[in-house]
Amino acid sequence: MPKAIIFLEDGVCFEGRSVTTVNEAAGEMVFNTSMTGYQEILTDPSYAGQIITMTYPLIGNYGVNGEDVESSKVHVAGFVVKEFAKTYSNFRATKSLLAYLEENHILAVENIDTRALTRHLRTRGAMRGIISTQDFDLRSLGEKMKKVPSMEGADLVKDVSVREKYIWNKEDAFTFKVAAIDCGVKYNILRILAKLGCQVHVFPAAATMHEIEAIKPDGLFISNGPGDPSAVPYVVETVKQFLGKLPIFGICLGHQILGLALGGKTYKLKFGHRGANHPVQDLIEDTIAITSQNHGFCVDAKSLNQNEIEITHINLNDKTAEGLRHKTYPLFCVQYHPEASPGPHDAMYLFKKFITMMEQSRA
């Protein structure tokens, strides 16, 4: 396999070898601490524009299948691991991870010291990076780096959102009609809402209030997604118009968008939260959940009006805001992923909370 170089914007380099035929890739270099779930990670639209480094040393041992995808395609810009499993074993698997990455034209690299790379990103912060199998000139790579866009200020939602409205479960009987603003929604969110009796109408991120109101929804859901929340003011403005009118539930980027719609601010975390083992405390229920997370931005709790808005969850690793609710309006949101699969199921109760909120609103 050809030699590959990882060149970071601070000039630090790592060498490995490519296991796919793609020659070059660029994006924000981040790391994920999950031991499983690589297929869900690859197809999560929230990872658009990012090169993922997996901290677990062996990836690919259970292959991939056609059922566990979280969107219609692979969204990551590149994939870095210590070692790829060359054989796979799982009764549900239909192909190897390497074959899957190749057919989706993803530059994948192994034989990287992922521990050293992760420690560097934790120390210096997530940063732009380039992977190349054909250009090893550091000066040339430095010039290319100038053209790699920063994640701050990047509107990646427009690249991953659905182009036209659709209904996820059109033929199923339902109790509630939910309008979902697609900022990069994961399929399992839609599956869970459908299972709980919701017919989900998925709208493009640029949908207007009037387009959403036309279906007479019982509730509004704001999905996860990639990029900087402050770079999607058009979504924020739409959400503002529904405050106090409908029950609203937001996840991940949806949480950040709600924070902005409520007058708060967001900021970029040093290296983000990406993994399946983040402890979060529910301050209302006084419980702790192990959660799956994937985000690089955060709502600034101090920027919110404390007379109207209550912080409901905090991350126990760094005390950042992980959830909020309005004291008067029927709305709440969380920064982590209660739908994550594979991953912990501790936070599944949040979907039922949304259902209860719609029941009370209808009554």
Select which of 198, 252, 298, 333 is catalytic.
252
75 is catalytic: no
CA 266 from chain centre, in angstroms, equals 16
Confidence (pLDDT) at 195: 95
Confidence (pLDDT) at 30: 98
Burial 76-104 (b: 16+ CB within 10 A, else e): bbbbbbbebbeebeeeeeeebbbebbbeb
Compute the mean pLDDT over every residue in the chain, rounded to the nearest whole number. Answer: 96
Angle at 251 between CA 246 and CA 253, to 5 degrees: 105
Q: Which 3-state string (H, E, C) describes the chain?
A: CCEEEEEECCCCEEEEEECCCCCEEEEEEEEECCCCCHHHHHCCHHHCCEEEEECCCEECCCCECCCCCCCCCCCCCEEECCEECCCCCCCCCCECHHHHHHHCCCEEEECCCHHHHHHHHHHHCCEEEEEECCCCCHHHHHHHHCCCCCCCCCCCHHHHCCCCCEECCCCCCCCEEEEEEECCCCHHHHHHHHHCCEEEEEEECCCCHHHHHCCCCCEEEECCCCCCHHHCHHHHHHHHCCCCCCCEEEECHHHHHHHHHCCCEEEEEEEEEEEEEEEEEECCCCEEEEEEEEEEEEEEHHHCCCCCEEEEEEECCCCCEEEEEECCCCEEEECCECCCCCCCCCCCHHHHHHHHHHHHHHC
CATH class of the domain comprising 3-145? alpha beta
* CATH 3.40.50.880 residue ranges for the chain: 157-362
Select which of 255, 278, 326, 337 is catalytic.
337
Tokens standing for residue 108: 């994948």
* CATH 3.50.30.20 residue ranges for the chain: 3-145
From the first residue on, what is the mean pLDDT of each consecutive set of 10 residues in the chain (363 residues)? 96 97 96 96 97 98 96 97 97 97 98 98 98 97 97 97 95 94 97 96 98 98 98 98 97 98 98 96 95 97 97 97 97 95 84 97 90
Characterize the bridge pairing of strands 287-300 and 309-315.
unpaired
pLDDT digits (tens, 9 = 90+) for 254-288: 999 999 999 999 999 999 999 999 999 999 999 99
Confidence (pLDDT) at 1: 83
- The radius of gyration of the chain from alpha carbons, rounded to an integer in Å, stands at 20
Characterize the bridge pairing of strands 166-167 and 198-204.
antiparallel
Confidence (pLDDT) at 166: 97
User: Residue 59: how many CA atoms within 13 Å on its side-chain side?
Assistant: 33
339 is catalytic: yes
252 is catalytic: yes
Domain 157-362, architecture per CATH: 3-Layer(aba) Sandwich (3.40)
